[in-house]
Structure 1
Amino acid sequence: MAQFVREVMTFGVVAVRPDASLVEAARLMRAQDIGDVLVADGDRLIGVITDRDIAVRVIADGNDPLTVSVGAVCTRDPVCVGPDDGVAAAARLMRSRAVRRLPVVEDGRPVGVVSIGDLAVAENPDSALAEISLANPNNEG
């Protein structure tokens, strides 16, 4: 069983600048088959934007995703973990903050993301959540 976040996290950072358009962020999510991107100014983490943020905070309110910046709707100052933090501590943090993903930061710089799916695969690979997380994304439409 994995003990540390570094054993289960997805390494590498997919990020956009705070002044990027939501369309740019959405296209990056589609190209990478991911549901979130980090928002960064250079090496400094500003926030996180998810596909759900775009749908709920922008589209559902009738705003134009071409004119709204990522920085205007992202979750600012997200709760983060380090690669040497425990997997159990990351799971408790996700539960207490009701989040599905945590940026992983080392020496002040984002180095990856750990998701609830990553934890499920590591802790119980036979669970329904683990199977869903391991499945190829549905690219219909």
Structure 2
Amino acid sequence: MTRKVGEVMTSRPRSLPLDATLYDAAKIMRDEGIGDVLVTYAGRLCGMVTDRDIVVRAVAERRDTSVTPLGDVCTADLTTIRAGDDTAEALRLMREQAVRRLPVVDDAQRPVGIVTLSDLAEAGDGLLAPLADIRRAPPTL
């Protein structure tokens, strides 16, 4: 039985405005144990920044994370999904776009959640079951 994205997504994703700094995003990621922050402009989704983006697009280029705005390094071309869509559709989009997470938006493009490959594994897709075990393991940091 296919479930809806809204049943398995992480609700209330962390987001910051486009002009917030990379330092702001990194601090949230550290404090909350997450790997991504959604980027908004006037409350609407306009991008996503990941821990990897910060390292590859900022630190490795010697950018000052305390002044570099998220808009300079975030991924703006996002694939999104709606809470009412099936998890099978989420998995299809992840495969097609080669992504591990999809922002979940409402009709006005405001972020309402985020669904990850791990969320789909937890939802019970037999093919993804090994990922559920990895997600439950304590972090190695």
Structure 2-normalised TM-score? Answer: 0.90
| 1:132 aligned residue | 134
Q: What are the within-5 Å matches in structure 2 for residues 24-39 of structure 1?
A: 24-39=24-39
Q: What are the within-5 Å matches in structure 2 for residues 1-141 of structure 1?
A: 1-108=1-108, 109-122=110-123, 123-124=125-126, 127-138=129-140, 140=141
Task: Flag structure 1 segments of 5+ consecutive residues without an equivalent.
Answer: none
Looking at structure 2, the residues matched to 31 and 11 of structure 1 have their Cα atoms a distance apart, in angstroms, of: 17
Looking at structure 2, the residues matched to 29 and 2 of structure 1 have their Cα atoms a distance apart, in angstroms, of: 31
Supply the RMSD in Å over aligned alpha carbons. Answer: 1.7
Conservation of the 8 A alpha-carbon contact between 2:3 and 2:86? yes
- CA shift, 1:46, in A, is 1.1
Looking at structure 1, the residues matched to 103 and 130 of structure 2 have their Cα atoms a distance apart, in angstroms, of: 24
Conservation of the 8 A alpha-carbon contact between 1:124 and 1:130? no
- CA shift, 1:99, in A, is 0.8
Moved more, 111-120 or 40-49: 40-49
Q: Which runs of 4+ in 1 moved over 4 A?
A: none
Looking at structure 1, the residues matched to 60 and 102 of structure 2 have their Cα atoms a distance apart, in angstroms, of: 25
Give CA-to-partner distance per residue, 1:57-92, whole Å, 9 cap, x none.
Answer: 111122221231111110114110000111111111
Looking at structure 2, the residues matched to 115 and 55 of structure 1 have their Cα atoms a distance apart, in angstroms, of: 21
Looking at structure 1, the residues matched to 129 and 113 of structure 2 have their Cα atoms a distance apart, in angstroms, of: 24
Count of residues in correspondence between the two structures: 139
Task: Report % sequence identity.
Answer: 47
- CA shift, 1:126, in A, is 8.1
Task: Flag structure 2 segments of 5+ consecutive residues without an equivalent.
Answer: none
Looking at structure 2, the residues matched to 49 and 124 of structure 1 have their Cα atoms a distance apart, in angstroms, of: 30
Give CA-to-partner distance per residue, 1:5-58, whole Å, 9 cap, x none.
Answer: 111111112111111110110001111110001001232111100000001111
